[in-house]
Amino acid sequence: MSRLMATMDTEMTQGLSDDPEERRKTSLQMAPSYIRSLLDGTEDGDFLALDLGGTNFRVLLCKMCSGKCRSISRKYNLSPETRSGPAAGVFDHVAESIYMFLKEENMLDQKLPLGFSFSFPMEPLSVRRAVLTTWTKTFSCPDGVGEDVVDMLESAISRRGDIQVDVVVVLNDATGTLLAGSYVDHTCHIGAIMGTGSNMAYLEKLTNVKKWDQDFDEPSQVAIDVEWGAFGDNGSLDFLKTDFDRAIDAHSHHHGSFTFEKLFSGHYVGDLLRLILVHLTERGLMFQGRGLDKLGVWGSFKANYISDIEKDTDKNVTRTWRVLEALGLTCVASDDDVAILRYLASAVSIRAAQIVGACLSVVTRRSKRTRSTVAMDGSHYRYHPKLQHMISAWLAHYVPQTTVNNLTCSPSVLPLGSLNRDRAYRGIIVDHFKQYSLLRWRVSKHREVAALVRPSHRLELCNAIMVIHGYSTLLSA
């Protein structure tokens, strides 16, 4: 972890440099967003928001009043064909969805200000102009790269001619999360996403942004879109990759890129666990060596299966059996297979939490703030029962002054900010450690599995062993 953190720190500095040679060394885009102020709760009015980047496209109507935001949102599925067809098709779908939303809300005659959350790497030119750098995740349109995102949206809207909007801002979803965070907690200075893909944005002092060539007027700060999804594309994270990570990369739409997000984000993490299962099953160590026809299918093990397995607390491990049922594996699975599966789900989740916690702590340390809040969102984060707690725990370990708020406002959110932090993070770690070591004990009875898992995955099996050492050190500290 210390090597990961040191690499991140160096590459952030390189990405902010005014020397193009230095910037060429880093895999972090560190794009200044032109957003200089966050929200302070006084932003009142009705706004439309678009959220494009995952499998679904969302249109939202946000009513902001006295520091509170009420919103209505609708999802519009984007088919795989649209996601891999011409970029104009994507934006036509967006325009059609806006039309359907406004019609449904009886608002076709209104012209509302619109904020566009576009969850792809961009080179911002101003607050409402940004050029698409590359498609990522499940999008592989043959064109659109190098074009202005707002132009593409406005062209699609004028092709229809039946809706009117006023695009006032285009931003990345990580920057959007940072802004949303600042609306409810003014100490928020980092926004991070763990969804289909992953990213982080934070507020940086202009004096640190050496490449900044605009004015230095107050507020002398700017939101930086780090684009950490591509962290390691220059080879700097090769030391962290396992054979499973390499297989994921080889099979992905974006081969050789988006190294960091492929380690844990929602679009890849199901396959990561599936590949480990295939590996064990091929050697006859799970599922009686059977079921490979089902396990061998890419995309068959969804990220939400990991969340389901991690939610299992009852004696009968009902949720894990349900996952096996969905995979068509119940007739070949034993109780021991269930224990191993739970161990692996826990291990990939721990790796995700520790990596994200460590990298967030780098940004928090650099900011030298005594109190800071990280806003997080994204489907994988939101639906996973333990990620928030584990990330908070690792953050509290690396930077004890940090509070993590989950701004998805799910009722089950542990209000870490309001707890005695020391007790809170220790409690979380102790709990998780107990559950994890029970599973590990169960799995260790399978000497062959344990033997196979250890040498062949080393850092690998999601750094599970190291994590356990980390936990023990923490517990004995």
Q: Is 226 or 358 the residue whose CB approaches ligand BGC more closely? A: 226
The least CB distance from residue 137 to ligand BGC, in Å, is 5
Catalytic residue among 51, 92, 137, 225: 137
Q: Which helix (H) or strand (E) holds 405?
A: strand 402-406
Residue 198, beta-bridge partner list: 194
Please give the C-alpha separations between residue 23 and each of 15, 19, 131, 432, in angstroms, as whole numbers: 5, 6, 19, 40
Footprint of ligand BGC on this chain (CB under 6 A)?
53, 119-121, 136-137, 172-174, 193, 195, 197-199, 227, 229, 261
The least CB distance from residue 136 to ligand BGC, in Å, is 3
The least CB distance from residue 80 to ligand BGC, in Å, is 17
To the nearest 10°, the Cα dihedral for 256, 261, 265, 266?
-40
Q: Is 264 or 343 the residue whose CB approaches ligand BGC more closely? A: 264
The least CB distance from residue 226 to ligand BGC, in Å, is 9
Q: Is 124 or 195 the residue whose CB approaches ligand BGC more closely? A: 195
Cis omega (within 30 of 0) for bond into 121 = no
For 268, list phi and psi in degrees, rounded to 5.
Answer: -115, -25
Q: Is 194 or 327 the residue whose CB approaches ligand BGC more closely? A: 194
Q: Is 53 or 470 the residue whose CB approaches ligand BGC more closely? A: 53
| Count of Cβ atoms closer than 10 Å to residue 403 Cβ | 21
The least CB distance from residue 257 to ligand BGC, in Å, is 10
| Sheet containing strand 31-32, strands side by side | 31-32, 221-225, 198-205, 188-194, 372-377, 402-406
Q: Is 7 or 119 the residue whose CB approaches ligand BGC more closely? A: 119
Number of residue whose CB is nearest ligand BGC: 197
137 counts as catalytic: yes
Q: Could you give the 3-state DSSP secondary structure of residue 4? A: helix
Sequence length of the chain is: 477
Diameter of the chain measured on Cα atoms: 69
Structure-token pair, residue 351 = 């790796």
**Taking the chain, what is the end-to-end CA distance rounded to the nearest angstrom?**
18
Q: Is 236 or 379 the residue whose CB approaches ligand BGC more closely? A: 379
Q: Are 467 and 422 in contact (CB under 8 A)?
A: no
The least CB distance from residue 476 to ligand BGC, in Å, is 37
The 3-state DSSP composition of the chain as helix, strand, coil percent (nearest 5) reads 50, 20, 30
d(CA 375, CA 301): 28
Q: Is 237 or 439 the residue whose CB approaches ligand BGC more closely? A: 237
Instruction: Name the residue among 223, 183, 191 with its Cα closest to residue 47.
Output: 183
d(CA 23, CA 463): 30
- Report, in angstroms and rounded to the nearest whole number, the Rg of the chain calculated over CA atoms: 23
d(CA 439, CA 35): 46
The least CB distance from residue 28 to ligand BGC, in Å, is 12
d(CA 402, CA 419): 12
271 counts as catalytic: no
| Burial annotation 211-240 (CB, 10 A radius, 16+ → b, else e) | ebeeeeeeeebbbbbbbbbbbbbbebbeeb
Catalytic residue among 92, 173, 249, 312: 173
Judged on CB neighbours under 10 Å (0-12, 13-18, 19+), 441 is: exposed
The least CB distance from residue 431 to ligand BGC, in Å, is 29
The least CB distance from residue 301 to ligand BGC, in Å, is 20
Question: Hunting for tokens 């325009």 — which residue is that?
Answer: 95
What 8-state DSSP symbol labels residue 170? E
Q: Is 280 or 303 the residue whose CB approaches ligand BGC more closely? A: 303
Q: Which active-site residues does the annotation give?
A: 137, 173
